[in-house]
């Protein structure tokens, strides 16, 4: 655990040192759970967005993208259920005065039971070797059985209490499990209360005529209210999808996990409209498609797992998260939800407008069902950053810090480095920059010894370094150094464009994973 905490601290300080993430308005001591992206962060974030956008829209003929406004008619949030039900259960510790999400306290407790079970299983696997049957062990070993059974029971009870709005039982559960304030160990808790997460604001100049508005807490509703506009103007036929990337705002109760839980963040969402009755088939398909998208980035298969929801939101008939192994453990990275026809129907009721599709094959009018895929851009950023940051022991006894970002996402694709700052090498390097900059983000760097420049680019995540030396003047070739293997290769300058493309192109990364 201590090691994991160190890793998380390293990620946060590395993100600052290399211009990825700064605290918002830092000179005024920052604003809680709000962050700014620096020069490298803005590029990485843009590249993640593009990777998602292109794989959703460009690779699917039946998915188009929109960009709806953050401010929406206030009735939107009544219809969607956010005014009445977008709450988190909060609990305060009377001694430490710290505030927590009651459901998260219980979930973390349950996660510890799972970890204990997994530890036992791993130990047994070591003991029994090849023939070990983990499934059988889970069912027969009394200790493992108890851990897993208790966990299931706790999560089911939590889901039941939350569904029934029985907050007293959530408090009782916390007390029965003897859950303590993670910071201080105190078990002196207040009652559990509901807290609405939407930020309110006002539209209009004078106090009497101003209308109450909300900053959108999710981008999805901008898609639902435009369903018919897009369907008609794009002549879309079911099944089809609408994708969107944009800011969302939530007044989160607990915001102590860097960019994992922010008050202002970005979502990448896609709503896929299908025939009623076909939604669960599409739900399975989108689970697979989305996991493949993650796998394409090569951050490690073992870092992902599905978590099927016990407690379904009021609009869903199936839901799962793709969880990622963040430095603080497995947590939700993306949600895939079968939202039924809840949203479109609710908007029909509240607006008085029909939101239906005439299906020419069935010769029938219906309100489509919806599968949603919803991923937090900032959480994806954190997943990429934390899985990429490595301390490596080198053969010569030194260590190096290297940010092994997927090359397709890296802010700078190649650094062009003249070996020395004289003899015409800077001019030649600059010429290479001027040729490549039209197609790739490249950077010229001449300061410090070449070894130090390599290390700097390693730590910033640049996948390729291109060194111009004295031989280059004669043979028009350069040395390319690969970040991950530190392998070096001599190639003609004319081949640089093709090499960088091969290493960093969307097609190279996504092709084998697209379905
Ligand atoms: P959590 O349970 O962690 O609060 P959620 O289930 O409320 O998340 P959704 O409403 O399903 O999240 O939102 C979809 C995605 O948006 C999440 O999977 C997550 O990646 C992202 N997201 C949600 N809230 C935040 C936040 N406060 N900061 C950053 N990303 C967020």
pLDDT tens, position by position, 208-246: 777 889 999 999 999 999 999 999 999 999 999 999 999
Please give the residue range of the domain that contains residue 180: 87-196
117 C-alpha to ligand 1 centroid (Å): 27
Total structural domains in the chain? 3
Q: Is the pLDDT at 254 greater than 80, yes or no?
A: no
Q: Is residue 153 part of a domain?
A: yes
Structure confidence at residue 1 (pLDDT): 46
Q: Does 240 share its domain with 383?
A: yes
Q: Does 289 share its domain with 373?
A: yes
Q: Does 177 share its domain with 258?
A: no
Q: Tell me the Cα Rg of the chain.
A: 26
Q: Does 410 share its domain with 337?
A: no
333 C-alpha to ligand 1 centroid (Å): 8
- The H-assigned helical ranges of 58-187 are 75-79, 82-85, 102-128, 134-140, 142-163, 167-176
- β-pair type (200-203, 240-249): unpaired
Q: Ligand 1: which atom is nearest the Cα of residue 217? A: 10
283 C-alpha to ligand 1 centroid (Å): 19
Q: Does 445 share its domain with 402?
A: yes
216 C-alpha to ligand 1 centroid (Å): 13
Closest CA to 32 of 263, 267, 328: 263
The domain that holds 429 is classified in CATH as 3.40.50.800
378 C-alpha to ligand 1 centroid (Å): 10
pLDDT range class, residue 514, cuts 50, 70, 90: confident
Query: In this predicted model, what pLDDT tens digit does every residue of 132-141 receive, in sequence order?
Result: 888 888 889 9
Q: Is residue 103 part of a domain?
A: yes
- Cα(208)–Cα(210) distance, rounded to whole angstroms? 6
Structure confidence at residue 2 (pLDDT): 56
pLDDT range class, residue 457, cuts 50, 70, 90: very high
Q: Ligand 1: which atom is nearest the Cα of residue 261? A: 28
CA distances from 55 to 29, 248, 509 (A): 39, 22, 11
Average the pLDDT over 56-73 and give the result: 97
Nearest CA to ligand 1 atom 6: 335
Q: Give strand pairing partners of 371.
A: 272, 338
Q: Does 299 share its domain with 260?
A: yes
Q: Is residue 69 part of a domain?
A: yes
Average the pLDDT over 46-73 and give the result: 97
Query: In this predicted model, what pLDDT tens digit does every residue of 79-100 receive, in sequence order?
Result: 999 998 888 899 999 999 998 9
461 C-alpha to ligand 1 centroid (Å): 27
Residues near 39 by beta carbon (within 8 Å), at least 6 away in sequence? 19, 411
- Cα(512)–Cα(50) distance, rounded to whole angstroms? 18
End position of a domain, from candidates 388, 408, 431: 388
Q: Is the pLDDT at 437 greater than 80, yes or no?
A: yes
Q: Is residue 109 part of a domain?
A: yes
Q: Is residue 515 part of a domain?
A: no
Nearest CA to ligand 1 atom 19: 376
Nearest CA to ligand 1 atom 2: 332
Q: Ligand 1: which atom is nearest the Cα of residue 263? A: 27
Question: Measured at the alpha carbon of residue 106, what is the angle toward residues 105 and 112, in degrees to the nearest 5?
Answer: 95
Q: What kind and span of H or E run contains 345?
A: helix 342-351
Q: Does 191 share its domain with 256?
A: no
Mean pLDDT score of the chain: 94
Q: Is the pLDDT at 346 greater than 50, yes or no?
A: yes
Q: Does 214 share its domain with 349?
A: yes
The domain that holds 209 is classified in CATH as 3.30.930.10
Q: Ligand 1: which atom is nearest the Cα of residue 334? A: 18
113 C-alpha to ligand 1 centroid (Å): 24
376 C-alpha to ligand 1 centroid (Å): 6
- Cα(318)–Cα(343) distance, rounded to whole angstroms? 15
Residues near 259 by beta carbon (within 8 Å), at least 6 away in sequence? 21, 35, 265, 378, 379, 381, 382
Q: Ligand 1: which atom is nearest the Cα of residue 374? A: 14
To test the pocket of ligand 1, the residue of 220, 376, 382 to mutate (highest count of ligand atoms within 8 Å of its CB) is 376
CA distances from 492 to 289, 340, 430, 504 (A): 39, 57, 16, 19
Q: Does 192 share its domain with 203?
A: no
Nearest CA to ligand 1 atom 13: 374
End position of a domain, from candidates 161, 196, 231: 196
Nearest CA to ligand 1 atom 14: 374
Token couple for 144: 């493992």
Q: Is the pLDDT at 167 greater than 60, yes or no?
A: yes
To test the pocket of ligand 1, the residue of 287, 310, 374 to mutate (highest count of ligand atoms within 8 Å of its CB) is 374
Q: Does 192 share its domain with 210?
A: no
Nearest CA to ligand 1 atom 29: 261
Query: In this predicted model, what pLDDT tens digit does every residue of 19-30 receive, in sequence order?
Result: 999 999 999 999
109 C-alpha to ligand 1 centroid (Å): 20
- The answer to whether residues 91 and 179 touch, using CB atoms and an 8 Å cutoff, is no
Q: Is the pLDDT at 129 greater than 80, yes or no?
A: yes
Structure confidence at residue 272 (pLDDT): 98
Q: How many Cβ atoms from other residues are within 10 Å of residue 248's Cβ?
A: 22
Token couple for 471: 């031989």
Q: Is the pLDDT at 68 greater than 50, yes or no?
A: yes
Nearest CA to ligand 1 atom 22: 376
Q: Ligand 1: which atom is nearest the Cα of residue 252? A: 27
Q: Find the residues whose C-beta lies inside 6 A of ligand 1.
A: 218, 250, 252, 261-262, 265, 267, 332-335, 374-376, 378-379
321 C-alpha to ligand 1 centroid (Å): 10
The structure's pTM equals: 0.88
Q: Does 252 share its domain with 288?
A: yes
- The H-assigned helical ranges of 142-268 are 142-163, 167-176, 220-224, 227-233
506 C-alpha to ligand 1 centroid (Å): 26
356 C-alpha to ligand 1 centroid (Å): 29
Query: In this predicted model, what pLDDT tens digit does every residue of 390-414 receive, in sequence order?
Result: 999 998 899 999 999 999 999 999 9
Q: Is residue 97 part of a domain?
A: yes
324 C-alpha to ligand 1 centroid (Å): 13
To test the pocket of ligand 1, the residue of 379, 381, 382, 383 to mutate (highest count of ligand atoms within 8 Å of its CB) is 379
End position of a domain, from candidates 178, 196, 214: 196
Q: Does 203 share its domain with 72?
A: yes
Nearest CA to ligand 1 atom 11: 335
């Amino acid at each position: 655990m201590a090691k994991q905490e160190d890793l998380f601290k390293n990620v946060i300080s590395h993100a600052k040192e290399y211009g990825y993430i700064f605290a918002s308005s830092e000179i005024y001591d920052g604003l809680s759970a709000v962050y700014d992206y620096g020069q490298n962060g803005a590029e990485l974030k843009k590249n993640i967005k593009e990777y998602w956008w292109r794989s959703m829209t460009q690779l699917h003929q039946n998915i188009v993208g929109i960009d709806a406004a953050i401010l929406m008619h206030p009735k939107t949030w009544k219809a969607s259920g956010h005014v009445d039900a977008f709450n988190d259960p909060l609990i305060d510790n009377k001694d430490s005065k710290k505030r927590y999400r009651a459901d998260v306290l219980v979930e973390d407790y349950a996660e510890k039971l799972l970890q204990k079970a997994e530890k036992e299983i791993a130990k047994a696997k070591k003991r029994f070797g090849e023939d070990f049957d983990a499934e059988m062990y889970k069912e027969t070993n009394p200790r493992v059985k108890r851990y897993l059974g208790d966990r299931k029971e706790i999560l089911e009870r939590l889901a039941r209490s939350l569904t029934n709005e029985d907050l007293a039982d959530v408090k009782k559960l916390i007390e029965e499990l003897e859950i303590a304030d993670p910071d201080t160990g105190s078990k002196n808790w207040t009652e559990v209360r509901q807290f609405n997460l939407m930020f309110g604001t006002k539209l209009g100049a004078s106090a009497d005529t101003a209308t109450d508005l909300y900053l959108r807490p999710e981008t999805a509703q901008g898609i639902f209210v435009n369903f018919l506009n897009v369907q008609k103007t794009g002549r879309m036929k079911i099944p089809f999808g609408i994708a969107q990337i944009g800011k969302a705002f939530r007044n989160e109760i607990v915001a102590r996990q860097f960019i994992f839980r922010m008050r202002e963040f970005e979502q990448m969402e896609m709503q896929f409209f299908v025939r009623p009755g076909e939604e669960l088939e599409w739900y399975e398909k989108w689970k697979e498609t989305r996991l493949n998208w993650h796998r394409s980035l090569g951050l490690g298969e073992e870092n992902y797992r599905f978590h099927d929801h016990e407690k379904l939101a009021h609009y869903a008939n199936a839901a799962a998260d793709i969880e990622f192994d963040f430095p603080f453990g497995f947590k939700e990275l993306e949600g895939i939800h079968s939202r039924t026809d809840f949203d479109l129907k609710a908007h029909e009721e509240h607006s008085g407008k029909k939101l239906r599709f005439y299906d020419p094959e069935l010769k029938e009018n219906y309100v489509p069902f919806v599968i949603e895929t919803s991923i937090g851009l900032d959480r994806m950023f954190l997943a990429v950053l934390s899985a990429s940051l490595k301390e490596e022991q080198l053969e010569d006894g030194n260590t190096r810090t290297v940010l092994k970002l997927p090359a397709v996402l890296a802010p700078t694709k190649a650094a062009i480095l003249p070996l020395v700052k004289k003899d015409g090498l800077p001019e030649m390097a600059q010429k290479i920059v001027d040729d490549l900059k039209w197609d790739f983000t490249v950077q010229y760097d001449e300061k410090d010894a070449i070894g130090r420049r390599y290390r700097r680019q390693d730590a910033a995540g640049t996948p390729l370094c291109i060194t111009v030396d004295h031989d280059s003047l004669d043979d028009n070739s350069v040395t390319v150094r690969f970040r991950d293997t530190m392998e070096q290769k001599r190639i003609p300058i004319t081949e640089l464009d093709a090499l960088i493309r091969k290493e960093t192109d969307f097609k190279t990364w996504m092709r084998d994973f697209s379905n």
